[in-house]
Amino acid sequence: MKKRIKKEINVPSDKSITHRALLLSSISKGKSQIFNPLISEDTKRTINLVKELGAKVDIDANKWVVTPPKSFNFDFDFYSGNSGTTTRISSGLLASIDGHFTILGDASLSQRPMKRIIEPLSEMGAKISCENYKLPMTIIGGNLRGIDYWLKIPSAQVKSSIMFAALRATGKTTIRGAINSRNHTEIMFKNSGVDIEINDNYIEITPSLPTSLNYRIPGDFSSAAYFIAMGLISKKVDLIIKSVNLNKTRTGMFQVLEKMNAKFEIKNFKNDIEPIGDIVPVFSNMINLKNIDENLIPFMIDEIPILVLIQSQSEGRVIFKNLSELRRKETDRINALVQNFEKIGVKIEELNDGFIVEGPQEIKGGEINSFNDHRISMTFAIAGLISKEGIKIKNSNCVDVSFPNFFEIIKGFFS
């Protein structure tokens, strides 16, 4: 019997928090320090944006120092690349500045829906124009007014866009409705002196500027999810994933795994600004749930692709529903997953808003298309590790938007 591989790994810093820390630092009252930030293709877009606004970003080995501008640059075009987070959240900030801004994106981002942010920002007084609610998008900002807005979809990006706009508006802004999604922006606002009230029914922001930030970014749970899966479905490895963000609005996947009889431990837990701990997944004989609780979906939307892989290796049949948002990601993830699983010998049925998966199934292997989607690429890399013949991934370097050293870590298990 081959000896099991034992590894401690660190995953990249949290992408969602890095974006927000950069944007909030650019309008703070003084210099901010961001420790352990994520350097990826997506976060580089946000660095470029705050520099366009006039902020100074000094980049050290493990620290960024952001100095806000004395006055904003107010007329520029900006290229967001593939970063939906940069585009949507920064739109709220740009809408609050008296200026003229045009946001462009790559082919994938230019197909993603922007109506969801255009509607509330327009209601606040921004003048926004684009064709068919797709990029490129021009924003004429300034003179925003506070609104009472009912959020229709549980999107942290939309919620955060409104929150950033509210900081420089006239009058209070209240957000109600589907506010139960990732709460990194709320935590960051509260810890940087913003006048904010948060409860189960609404978020209320009174115009105010943050004090300088002093923020340490924890490991990204979405990046850790691939190695959690690896530990659960591979008999070859024993893993400890160090210092991962365990914010409950990010870890819906854990609740599903617990009900599937998956085995994992949390060690060295501590409450910092965000809760963090080490994750120890253990190979498990898991059972599938018949259905996934739709209330958990906002807390694990990025983990759905890797969770589908886990389900394919577990006993029973499961129906994934209420996932239409996956069709609006970097690619149509529902169709991309179905196409690629079928190519490697895994049976999966496509629904309008999800999948039906049965398990356990043997993964034969083959060649798949990442569709330039980092989460598709990483999911099938993990599938390749337990396949019979291996999996070749087209355009695998798309992982650089969130996890630049992903394949280096994978190779490290076998070197």
Task: List residues with catalytic annotation.
Answer: 302
Cβ atoms of residues 19 and 185 within 8 Å? no
Please choose, from the candidates 279, 288, 217, the residue with its C-alpha nearest in 3D space to the C-alpha of residue 251: 279
Helix, strand, or coil here: 364?
coil
Q: Is the dihedral of CA 280, 281, 284, 287 positive or negative?
A: positive
The full length of the chain comes to 415
Give CA angle at 230 (380, 235), nearest 5°: 120
Comparing CA positions, the residue from 263, 271, 279, 274 lying closest to residue 223 is 279
Rg, C-alpha atoms of the chain:
21
Are residues 394 and 386 in contact, defined by beta-carbon separation less than 8 angstroms?
no
CA separation, residue 131 to residues 77, 87, 90, 111, 165 (Å): 17, 16, 19, 11, 22
Structure token digits, residue 368: 């798949």
Rounded-to-integer distance, Cα 369 and Cα 379, Å: 12
Residue 221 gets the label, from left (phi > 0), alpha (psi -120 to 50) or beta, of alpha
Residue of 279, 272, 156 lying closest to 216 (CA atoms): 272
Instruction: Tell me how far CA of residue 123 lies from CA of 85, 120, 204, 366, in angstroms.
Output: 21, 5, 16, 50
CA distance 134 to 130: 6
Q: How far apart are CA 355 and CA 338, in angstroms?
A: 8
How much of the chain is in helix, strand and coil states, percent to nearest 5? 35, 30, 35
Q: Which amino acid is at 136?
A: P
CA distances from 346 to 258, 285, 318 (A): 24, 18, 14
Q: Cis check for the bond before 360: say yes or no (omega within 30 of 0).
A: yes
